[in-house]
A and B are shown apart, each in its own frame.
Chain A
Amino acid sequence: MEFFKIRRDIPFMRHALVFNLVSLVTFIAAVFFLFSRGLHLSVEFTGGTLMEVRYSQPADLNAIRASVAALGVNDVQVQNFGSAHDVLIRLPVQKSSTSGAQSERVLAGLCADLAGTMQADALQSGKMVCKTAANAEPLVLKRTEFVGPQVGDELAADGLKALASVVVGIMLYLAIRFEWKFAVAAIIANLHDVVIILGFFAFFQWEFSLPVLAAVLAVLGYSVNESVVIFDRIRENFRRFRKMNTHQIIDSAITSTISRTIITHGCTQLMVLSMLLFGGETLHNFALALTIGILFGIYSSVFVAAAIAMWLGVQREDLIKGPIKKENDPADPNAGATV
């Protein structure tokens, strides 16, 4: 099988301006939504309490909201988590009560709504479970999570530090391995992917959690890959085709790597798709961030990175280093010798 039957080099660079404009517009839109809507940060960043409860009957979210509000806890978010039976309850940080007391109170309140009472578990001493008169368990607390506000601030700071060190690390490596123009081009192209992912999360108000942050940074490293493969080819082409100009060199490099770019990304996307389908609610946003990152990663490395390098004025001399041998160098014992 062969998907890519390309007869001659595709003139990508002729349309570079258009591609860059498209990028710019998406980028500006992403930044706009980031500022106007903001990210919907998870409990890990904001601090607060998270409870995941499984009901034996499909849960009535409005009733849950009402009963939590009746407990005097304001600003509560209640939503389904994966199925109609699973409910996720987010409680904001409260200064007055400790984490455990808050989630226990809410659980007792929800239990009472279903005509149950909290009782000590027969199997594990000290554990409290909700039991009705008929000894059924109408709801089970599957997990709780409490994060103090000071932890959230540190996580956000650490996230930014991680982002900064990825950017600096990759730029340094590319500058050493290739040339500063490529380093700048690759980082601009791929940071724009990151901003676009964040823009999607802001626009749809998907929850931005720690795994999503990990996905974003992984995507940054991954899509720089793409640019590296293309740059590698550009360098090789500069060596091989001495007569082509920079335009043609870049076009030929992108054309000859495009099949690999798409197949690789397709394979990675297959994996991510499998996470999206089988990974459940916890991995859902992680996989979403990766999907957007992969799609825009293709776009940015094919259409944007090389174009920026071109605008920055990449030349053959930038990449092919080593002293150019002068004719009749008196210090060279082999001067004048030809083979």
Chain B
Amino acid sequence: MNRYPVWKYAIILIALVVGGLYALPNFFGLAPVVQVTSTKSVAKVDAALQTRVEEALKSASLSPDSVGLASGALTVRFSDADVRAKAKEVIQKTVMVDGQDAGYVVALNALSRSPAWLLSIRSAPMYLGLDLRGGIHFLLQVNMPEALTKKTESLAGDIRTTMREKNVRHGGISRNGQNIEVRLRQAADLEATKRLIQDNFPELQTQDMPDGTEFKLTASIKPEAARRIQDQALKQNITTLHNRINELGVNEPVIQQQGADRIVVQLAGMECVPCAKDLIGRTATLEMRLVDDGVEAQGAESGGVVPFGDERFFERNGRAVIVKKQVILSGDSLTDAQPGFDSQTQQPKVDLTVDAKGGRIMRDVSRENLHKRMAVLLFEKGKGEVLTAPVIQGELGNRFQITGAASAAEANNLALLLRAGALAAPMEIIEERSIGPTLGAENIAKGFNSVTWGFVAVTVFMCIYYMLFGVISSVSLAFNLLLLVAVLSMLQATLTLPGMAAMALVLGMAIDANVLINERVREELRGGASPQAAIHAGYDRAWATIIDSNVTTLIAGLALLAFGSGPVRGFAVVHCLGILTSMFSGVFFSRGVVNLWYGRQKKLKNVSIGTVWRPDSGNQVTAN
């Protein structure tokens, strides 16, 4: 009766092997590394760079464990973090050209020490949270009313221009909060304005009311359009943050939307809080200027003297562009940039929209400079970069397009850069945490010690109290820990200190299943059942109780997962997963071991489950 069919053992064996494989990387630990990546296409990460870095390290008498090129990054591994800190400085100097930033990013990271065959099955160590590895965490609140106000402001200007074009007379257009108020003298004008707004500004809704002898028309952004604007503002802010963080040289930054108007930024290994804050506070500006393509300027492109009144800037691919100093338009005028396809040529393009004032300037400038090039420049931290420099093909208005992108992806990227130069809406830090790396290491040690010593104490008690059944319970508890670690590694769920506490707690709770079973088996033995029948009944009867009690614990865990944030979520993830793995290990696995041990014996007289005390006889009946 206490036999498992072969397939059940197969499941256990598979779980053991898979669990073992995925839990294994955690034992190898992490190696401190320095990674060099490139942000510009001129800055090539290749064998030449590798030799340069290797030689520089050798001359500084620093010996790395290994230097390797993989997926566009040069990875230099070290055995200890102090050496790495020195090496980072050396490498940083090496990759600079003439003391100038050459487009390389040098970052500290930690990579798994596990062998290549483990990496090839995508087995990675658990993903440690910031409180365990050190770093900076920000929660940013995007000021959405501000984004809407900005949009309203530019729409008010557009309405003014459109009304002038269509010869509709008005007595003043003003923005009042997030409403545009248009004063009109005559009823006919009111109708004309309403129609005009309906035709040209689908995102606006209007409402009119008499104002003395005159009329007042109030236009506001429709709720669904407002939602779209907010969504776009958030996306744009995230992209901008991405671009700025990339140059900080942080590995695997986490930049995520949280809720409708919040952004989480997590920079592991970062200690420089002011640098991180600069990301949010910094302002970037976009400028449109004419390209000088005179003979002198063409000479300057290939390294000659820059003509008077011009400046030299570089494109992302490193090509020099000589532009005039005079600014045609600044980024404030640009209201939108969207990628798309030209309806006639099917070529990828980027549609730009500038506000009414910008449109007027564009018209004049484009008329005078037909078939010349115009550059779009992005200025950040006082450094300019040419995003694109297209040729003006016709007279432009407030809506025009840039064609000639090689691919849809490139057009997409350009549109993004045009939009993402600046933050769409200001952001405010509403939560900030910085954890030093030493504290992270201490936290790991604390969590690890709690789990280890708790585990040892429970195991010792179980083995003494329940003898062989206690040993089996302890083995299944260890199996539970293995599975939990494996699942966490597989899912790459973030492990935090509360998560480690949950791990300890869930082990303490998981033993409950085995205690229930063991007590039940003892009780059956006490009642006079034969050992085999007692084992069978013990497991069977305890099962319903175990299910019930785990479901209630799981309900609490799921509620924490649903409503918790930050540390609570880290706790809840481990807690819920731990309950699930404990059901498997505590019942299915431990029964398998018991069956393997006792199930074969037909005439089983004794089971080793400690003292089975019978009240009727008054004396002890030892069962082994």
Is A274 interfacial (CB 8 A cutoff)? Answer: yes
Whole-angstrom distance from the CB of B365 to the nearest CB of chain A?
Answer: 41
- How many B residues are at the interface, by size bracket? 35 or more
Instruction: Choose among B273, B508, B558 the residue with the greatest number of A CB atoms under 10 Å from its CB.
Output: B508
Whole-angstrom distance from the CB of A171 to the nearest CB of chain B?
Answer: 10
Among candidates B498, B515, B566, B612, residue contacting A267 with C-beta atoms closer than 8 Å: B515
- Near B by CB (< 8 A), chain A positions 143-178 give 143-148, 150-151, 155, 158-159, 161-163, 165-166, 169-170, 173-174, 177
Asked, given contacts A126-B272, A146-B431, A150-B430, whether A169 binds B572 with beta carbons under 8 Å apart, the answer is: no
Is A320 interfacial (CB 8 A cutoff)? Answer: no
Asked, given contacts A1-B610, A264-B515, whether A275 binds B556 with beta carbons under 8 Å apart, the answer is: no
Instruction: Choose among A140, A169, A282 the residue with the greatest number of B CB atoms under 10 Å from its CB.
Output: A282
Q: Are B568 and A146 in contact (CB under 8 A)?
A: no
Q: Are A263 and B429 in contact (CB under 8 A)?
A: no
Q: Are B563 and A161 in contact (CB under 8 A)?
A: yes
Docked Cα-Cα span, A266 to B515, in Å, equals: 11
Is A95 interfacial (CB 8 A cutoff)? Answer: no
Q: Are B274 and A100 in contact (CB under 8 A)?
A: yes
- Near A by CB (< 8 A), chain B positions 347-396 give none
Docked Cα-Cα span, A226 to B552, in Å, equals: 10
B208-216, B233-241, B319-327, B440-448 - the one binding chain A: B440-448
Instruction: Provide the residues of chain A in CB contact with B548, threshold 8 Å.
Output: 177, 228-229, 232
Q: Are B560 and A214 in contact (CB under 8 A)?
A: yes
Docked Cα-Cα span, A277 to B454, in Å, equals: 10
Q: Are A279 and B450 in contact (CB under 8 A)?
A: yes
Q: Are A146 and B432 in contact (CB under 8 A)?
A: yes
Is A56 interfacial (CB 8 A cutoff)? Answer: no
Q: Are A271 and B458 in contact (CB under 8 A)?
A: yes
Among candidates B429, B449, B564, residue contacting A158 with C-beta atoms closer than 8 Å: B564
Asked, given contacts A150-B141, A158-B565, whether A267 binds B461 with beta carbons under 8 Å apart, the answer is: yes
Docked Cα-Cα span, A272 to B502, in Å, equals: 10
Asked, given contacts A143-B435, A274-B457, whether A280 binds B442 with beta carbons under 8 Å apart, the answer is: yes
Docked Cα-Cα span, A294 to B304, in Å, equals: 80
Q: Are A144 and B508 in contact (CB under 8 A)?
A: no
Q: Are B611 and A1 in contact (CB under 8 A)?
A: yes
Q: Are B564 and A211 in contact (CB under 8 A)?
A: no
Is A142 interfacial (CB 8 A cutoff)? Answer: yes
- Near B by CB (< 8 A), chain A positions 280-295 give 280, 282-283, 286-287, 290
A10-18, A58-66, A108-116, A216-224 - the one binding chain B: A216-224
Q: Are A270 and B457 in contact (CB under 8 A)?
A: yes
Is B41 interfacial (CB 8 A cutoff)? Answer: no
Among candidates B274, B451, B553, residue contacting A225 with C-beta atoms closer than 8 Å: B553
Instruction: Choose among B88, B275, B552, B555 the residue with the greatest number of A CB atoms under 10 Å from its CB.
Output: B552
Asked, given contacts A218-B560, A221-B553, A260-B515, whether A271 binds B433 with beta carbons under 8 Å apart, the answer is: no
Among candidates A174, A226, A259, A272, residue contacting B519 with C-beta atoms closer than 8 Å: A259
Docked Cα-Cα span, A134 to B555, in Å, equals: 58
Interface Cβ pair total, 8 Å cutoff: 257
> A interface, by DSSP: helix, strand, loop or mixed?
helix
Instruction: Choose among B435, B505, B519 the residue with the greatest number of A CB atoms under 10 Å from its CB.
Output: B505
Instruction: Provide the residues of chain B in CB contact with A52, threshold 8 Å.
Output: 439
Q: Are A282 and B516 in contact (CB under 8 A)?
A: no
- Near B by CB (< 8 A), chain A positions 203-246 give 210-211, 213-214, 217-218, 220-222, 224-226, 228-229, 232, 236
Whole-angstrom distance from the CB of B496 to the nearest CB of chain A?
Answer: 10
Q: Are B85 and A123 in contact (CB under 8 A)?
A: yes
Is A127 interfacial (CB 8 A cutoff)? Answer: yes
Q: Are B465 and A1 in contact (CB under 8 A)?
A: yes
Encode A78-108 as 1/0 by CB contact (under 8 A) with B.
Answer: 0000000000000000000011100010000
Docked Cα-Cα span, A274 to B501, in Å, equals: 10
Is A2 interfacial (CB 8 A cutoff)? Answer: yes
Docked Cα-Cα span, A147 to B137, in Å, equals: 11
Name which residue of chain A comes closest to B616, CB basis.
Answer: A7
Encode B465-502 as 1/0 by CB contact (under 8 A) with A.
Answer: 10000000000000000000000000000000110011
Is A28 interfacial (CB 8 A cutoff)? Answer: no
Is B260 interfacial (CB 8 A cutoff)? Answer: no
Asked, given contacts A150-B430, A166-B559, A267-B512, whether A100 binds B458 with beta carbons under 8 Å apart, the answer is: no
- How many A residues are at the interface, by size bracket? 35 or more
Q: Are B275 and A126 in contact (CB under 8 A)?
A: yes
Docked Cα-Cα span, A6 to B610, in Å, equals: 17
Q: Are A166 and B572 in contact (CB under 8 A)?
A: no
Encode B56-73 as 1/0 by CB contact (under 8 A) with A.
Answer: 000000000000000000
Is A310 interfacial (CB 8 A cutoff)? Answer: no
Instruction: Provide the residues of chain B in CB contact with A321, threshold 8 Å.
Output: none
Encode B264-278 as 1/0 by CB contact (under 8 A) with A.
Answer: 000000011111010
Q: Are B449 and A278 in contact (CB under 8 A)?
A: yes
Is B615 interfacial (CB 8 A cutoff)? Answer: yes
Instruction: Provide the residues of chain A in CB contact with B509, threshold 8 Å.
Output: 222, 225, 268
Docked Cα-Cα span, A174 to B552, in Å, equals: 9
Is A20 interfacial (CB 8 A cutoff)? Answer: no
Q: Are A267 and B439 in contact (CB under 8 A)?
A: no
Encode B411-448 as 1/0 by CB contact (under 8 A) with A.
Answer: 00000000000000000111111111011001100110
Instruction: Provide the residues of chain A in CB contact with B559, threshold 8 Å.
Output: 162-163, 165-166, 169, 217
Q: Are A224 and B552 in contact (CB under 8 A)?
A: yes
Among candidates A1, A123, A159, A282, residue contacting B497 with C-beta atoms closer than 8 Å: A282
Is A188 interfacial (CB 8 A cutoff)? Answer: no
Q: Are B515 and A142 in contact (CB under 8 A)?
A: no
Whole-angstrom distance from the CB of A48 to the nearest CB of chain B?
Answer: 11
Instruction: Provide the residues of chain A in CB contact with B433, threshold 8 Å.
Output: 143-146
Instruction: Provide the residues of chain A in CB contact with B443, threshold 8 Å.
Output: 280, 282
Instruction: Choose among B438, B457, B556 the residue with the greatest number of A CB atoms under 10 Å from its CB.
Output: B556
Q: Are B613 and A99 in contact (CB under 8 A)?
A: no
Instruction: Provide the residues of chain A in CB contact with B554, threshold 8 Å.
Output: 221
Instruction: Provide the residues of chain B in CB contact with A217, threshold 8 Å.
Output: 556, 559-560
Instruction: Provide the residues of chain B in CB contact with A104, threshold 8 Å.
Output: 274
Name which residue of chain B comes closest to A164, CB basis.
Answer: B559
Instruction: Choose among B451, B501, B519, B611 the residue with the greatest number of A CB atoms under 10 Å from its CB.
Output: B501
Instruction: Provide the residues of chain B in CB contact with A162, threshold 8 Å.
Output: 559-560, 562-564, 568
Instruction: Provide the residues of chain B in CB contact with A151, threshold 8 Å.
Output: 139, 430-431
Instruction: Provide the residues of chain A in CB contact with B560, threshold 8 Å.
Output: 162, 214, 217-218
Name which residue of chain A comes closest to B430, CB basis.
Answer: A148
Asked, given contacts A228-B552, A264-B511, whether A271 binds B432 with beta carbons under 8 Å apart, the answer is: no
Q: Are A268 and B556 in contact (CB under 8 A)?
A: no
Is B557 interfacial (CB 8 A cutoff)? Answer: yes
Name 5 interchain pairs, CB-CB below 8 A, sorted by A.
A140-B436, A173-B555, A217-B559, A269-B508, A270-B508
Which 10 A-B residue pairings sit nearest by Cβ, starting from the closest?
Answer: A221-B556, A271-B508, A274-B454, A148-B430, A268-B508, A271-B454, A278-B449, A126-B272, A225-B549, A162-B563
A98-B429, A283-B501 provided; 19 other pairs, C-beta below 8 A?
A99-B432, A100-B277, A104-B274, A125-B275, A141-B436, A144-B432, A146-B432, A162-B560, A162-B562, A165-B562, A214-B564, A214-B571, A224-B549, A228-B548, A236-B541, A260-B519, A268-B509, A274-B453, A278-B453
